[in-house]
A and B are shown apart, each in its own frame.
Chain A
């Protein structure tokens, strides 16, 4: 029990090693599905055992690793992390089930995803800067290969763009860590990478201002925030379905997670100072990305822009520096993780069946793929924040919390409600409706299409069930997330 968190994090990587050694395709598939199911169960145990009334991090493990440098193997969870871990485990399980039919270099594909899972879980759990950075970079490499090896036509371009961008961001993050560690050395006389040690230091304002910016650039690229967002649509367009799901569902949350975990508690004064900057960028992201979304004809590009728009809501809620808004921001991380994953699964399904992402090649599918039409619609409704589904609670909390101090910003960002409905339903209409405007030959082709199969249904049902649960009974989740808000905002 003591090492449950460690086991949860590293089990996938261990499996990756075994899978890579055995190089047996069917074993790889079975192992990945069962191990990710086990990881999901473990994270569920963590989530249920998490006591949100007790202050401070839980499931803490601390072992000296490189003592002379003050580096330790230090893990622990707060309310936000435990929620994100649960969502991550859910999405990875979904991805492995979805990948049941993968034929192309299966063993490598599955080991890379298993590695990625470890890295993602690790980022949320690490409480040591060094450990965090290893997981952070460890995420980058498998993703690079996934896009570069299993992507579509321009995969190498997209993979390189993804790599250069995020690597560039990571460099700034590295500089940020370096600056505070060096400061700590001169201040205390010893080097430490420990999160809590640094929390105690209370950096002076000049350092906060510099370090905040360095961290913020690193996180902003990952989120991504306007104007460093252009890698995301390209990466999504070229990535294979499972890659897109993890990219949108989990990887984008790293940046916002970083803001909440590192920027706000370590640099509280600087965070307050930079509120106007972040707000401007967030509101631009919400509106601008929604405009970009409606201009697209490529399904995945549209969903990618919708992600940027939603992440604008997250950064807005994070920097409103209010309990409700921060709960909303974390809620949005989960809700968006679910909705974007479901939407990218949907896009992937369309591609599997019709081999096109282009809306001009589609249309009128609703009648021929009725089950798919339903899940696609629910996924979209989650994304556009329909009450009863997860996205609405998140949006409501963020707007409510932001409105308290910044009503104009909240109303401006709230327009995302309208623009979001516009781009999603406009896409849905072009993909699923309006049969009468199509050429006859296309309808003939549609008639032979096969609706959802079991390996599609399982991920969809799990994700949408979670979306309904979070939308209809948010109280326990908000309470867990409020654990983080109390810690971060000191309330």
Chain B
């Protein structure tokens, strides 16, 4: 039962801060949140060791009786779930510590709410990771949706944040709509919501319905992980504070989609058509988002697109039948993506939360050496440079692609090149070259405080060494051990180096002049930056279209047709009633009193009759 503390600790922290946050203060709230995360991490480690020996169950109480099946609240600890839980809580705790420094300038302004939401976020994510049934996963699923809504919209006084949070919630809900019907289909196929029971019954299931059910479940993952076509909320979610972005992209939320499919992999494995579709969506998103990242200029949005692209990698990995590879990449990605975001957050902090465009920085490496080191290691790892963690996991995935089809393999390699290019474009523009911020800011640029530096350093170390654990990880989660594909590794390494080199040549050596090159390729640049205009399309057609359509139906259909007919009828009746002068407000009082009096008399009579029987 002590494994329950993993879940309880962030939950208690959430409840405690929600109710008493105001009196205990913002800083203490931040510390409580971080401690809760740390406690959760420690117990997750305990669960890892225990589940490596033997997976175990914790059942709590009967939750929902359905026809022929009683659903209980329960949690299942196997190596996959407990290791994921350890990774999630580890990264989350570091981000929580970092956020104490990041939000420092807002203390005294109800900032404890921020920490309450962070705890809620972690709790919901752990619910997804540890639940032993599909409905439990859905609870966490919507829980992270809510927490992300609250956190993205944390600066709700700004129009931008309030719009972004709304968009995130609705987009997620579209996915959840499919997801819940996926769960319902599973229940109808297997007459159970218990994951292990479902796995046992797979051989006897109708493959057609199974295909449908998995497709619907995947719909949920598309929404949550920001894959095509439900992707636009993810870059816009950058409106939230940077620790939120880090949390969203590294440990919680977007990882949920990948994890859910890995967790239910036997189900997807039995539906090969769905897996092909997963691969297609993943591959397309990987390319699409990488292209968008090459042209964007927002310090956080580039990293956001990079997450989308890396998640695409993972979905492609799931689609080609390497769930362990995908999960492993998820883990390494959690470290280096959190590192990149925290480094970006440090830059934003150094500039007093005012500047976000990468072209407004430049030459920061002199002023912020730790941040610079963090960002560079994160970028190298993301680019897949040997021997950093990203290299190992990405190499494994690309190797798996090539095993299945040349098309997927080539796509993986091309995206690897683009990835190296765009992340180093950001790195070079922000940390090297001319100090473009000089004429904009009057203050000195300083490195951030230690509560922000330490998490960055820890993540830096993890991003370097996490690759060494590949063998252990695969053995633990029961994945196939694949020896390193030397040809793939070599070609990826060369592509990554080429990407970095071209970014270096263009943005440091300025051959050709990047500004001129961008303006020459303006159409291409805008197309990529605007995500092939998908966001504008959604906004104009879906959001505004739905709103306008509803308003038109309201004025025409509701007011004139449906209500108009009735009012006509009412007028006729009222004309008859006029002679009776029934509805005169002045007399209504007396009517009403008369009625009350008369009825009460009847009741007294009734009581007398009843009790004198």
Contacts and interface: CB of A to CB of B under 8 A. Distances in A.
Interface of A: 3, 6, 10, 13-14, 16-18, 20-21, 63, 73, 105, 108, 111-112, 115, 118, 138, 141-142, 145, 148-149, 156, 159-161, 164-165, 227-231, 288, 291-292, 294-296, 322-324, 364, 366-367, 370, 381, 386-388, 392-393, 396-397, 399-400, 403-404, 410-411, 414-415, 417-418, 421-422, 425-426, 429, 432-437, 473-475, 478-479, 482
B64 A434 contact: no
B62 A475 contact: yes
Contacts of B595: 115, 141-142
Contacts of A388: 139, 143
Contact of B65 (A20, A432, A482): A482
B176 interface: yes
A20 B64 CA distance: 46
B143 A387 contact: yes
Contact of A63 (B63, B558, B569, B610): B610
Given A292-B558, A295-B547, 10 more contacts: A10-B607, A16-B599, A18-B600, A161-B566, A295-B551, A403-B184, A417-B176, A417-B180, A429-B162, A436-B159
A475 B63 contact: yes
A229 to B, nearest CB: 8
B449 interface: no
A433 B162 contact: yes
Interface stretch (B29-37, B165-173, B240-248, B289-297): B165-173
Interface in B565-612: 566, 569-570, 573-574, 583, 585, 588-589, 591-593, 595-597, 599-601, 603-604, 606-607, 609-611
B600 A17 contact: yes
B369 interface: no
Nearest to B139: A387
Given A145-B592, A149-B588, A415 B177 contact: yes
Q: Which of A10, A105, A364, A415 has the most CB of B within 10 A?
A: A10
B66 interface: yes
B65 A475 contact: yes
B196 interface: no
Nearest to A73: B606
A410 B563 CA distance: 28
Contacts of A432: 156
B441 interface: no
A16 B153 contact: no
Contacts of A322: 67
B142 A434 contact: no
Contacts of B173: 417-418, 421
11 contacts: A16-B596, A159-B583, A160-B583, A164-B569, A227-B562, A387-B138, A396-B184, A399-B181, A403-B188, A417-B180, A421-B173
A294 B547 contact: yes
B158 A436 contact: yes
B146 A473 contact: no
A393 B593 contact: no
B603 A10 contact: yes
B550 A292 contact: yes
B585 A393 contact: no
B554 interface: yes
Contacts of A404: 188
B270 interface: no
B554 A292 contact: yes
Contact of A17 (B142, B558, B588, B603): B603
State which size class the interface on B falls in.
35 or more
B107 interface: no
Contacts of A115: 595-596, 599
A63 to B, nearest CB: 7
Given A323-B67, A403-B184, A387 B142 contact: yes
A414 B180 contact: yes
A18 B600 CA distance: 8
Contacts of A400: 66, 184, 187
A417 B596 contact: no
A220 B550 CA distance: 24
A70 B591 CA distance: 32
B443 interface: no
A159 B591 CA distance: 15
Nearest to B141: A387
Given A294-B550, A295-B551, A14 B604 contact: yes
A174 B67 CA distance: 36
A14 to B, nearest CB: 5
Contacts of A159: 583
Nearest to A325: B67
Instruction: Identify whether the interface residues of A are mostly helix, strand, loop, or mixed.
Output: helix
Contact of B64 (A108, A437, A478): A478
A18 B65 CA distance: 45
A434 B549 CA distance: 24
B12 interface: no
Contacts of B538: none
Nearest to B157: A435
Contact of A14 (B158, B593, B603): B603
Contacts of B589: 105, 108, 149
Given A105-B589, A230-B563, A433-B157, A17 B177 contact: no
A295 B159 contact: no
A145 B185 CA distance: 49
A291 B593 CA distance: 41
B472 interface: no
A160 B577 CA distance: 11
Contact of B553 (A141, A292, A417): A292
A487 to B, nearest CB: 15
B4 interface: no
Contacts of A478: 64-65
Contacts of B185: 403
Contacts of A435: 156-157
A16 B550 CA distance: 44
A475 B69 CA distance: 12
Nearest to A105: B589
B596 A17 contact: yes
A112 B158 CA distance: 45
A474 B70 CA distance: 12
A294 B166 CA distance: 14
A160 B553 contact: no
Contact of B174 (A14, A324, A418): A418
A162 to B, nearest CB: 11
B609 to A, nearest CB: 8
B181 to A, nearest CB: 6
A294 B553 CA distance: 11
B208 interface: no
B128 to A, nearest CB: 12
A315 to B, nearest CB: 18
B56 interface: no
- List of 5 A-B pairs having minimum Cβ-Cβ separation, nearest first: A17-B600, A435-B157, A295-B554, A291-B550, A433-B156
Contacts of A437: 159
